Amino acid sequence: MCKSKLQYAKTSLFRSGILVTSDHDIVVQGINARDNSLGAFQVPPVSHQLGYVHVAMTYKHTVTSKNPGPYEIAIVATHSDPTTVEILLHSPVQLSVNFSGATYTNGDSIIITLQQYEAAQVIN
């Protein structure tokens, strides 16, 4: 189990992560075990599954009616050269994201350049 230091907790750039390599086919899964939280995902192989355009589907879960959870995504660069990423914000409800000192809303694009294995998390 990974320590919570690896968990991305805010909208920012991060230089922490886990690189998994193998000399045979394997399956890698991640499971969130935080209190009052549930989440799991399968990690696609880098050499077979990467692309240039992705749609991140998120949902706004509600822990209680007074405390809705955030929308959030994380992006990880795997290429050895710097990777420029454009995140277009689009939501059926109004959203606002603060990233690197700027505020972005529906229809805005966030442009980020990531180094290899650097990650960016965006939370509204």
Instruction: Give the CB-side neighbour count of residue 72, counting CA atoms within 13 A.
Output: 15
Percent of the chain whose predicted confidence (pLDDT) is above 90: 12
Q: What is the pLDDT of residue 9?
A: 62
**pTM (whole model) above 0.75:** no
Percentage, residues of the chain above pLDDT 70: 73
| pLDDT tens for each residue of 36-84 | 767 777 777 776 566 777 777 766 655 554 555 567 788 888 888 899 9
Over residues 88-115, mean pLDDT: 87
Predicted local distance difference test score (pLDDT) of residue 113: 94
**3-state class (DSSP) for residue 4:** helix
d(CA 113, CA 85): 6
DSSP letters for 60-90: --EEETTEEPPPEEEEE--SSS-EEEEEE--
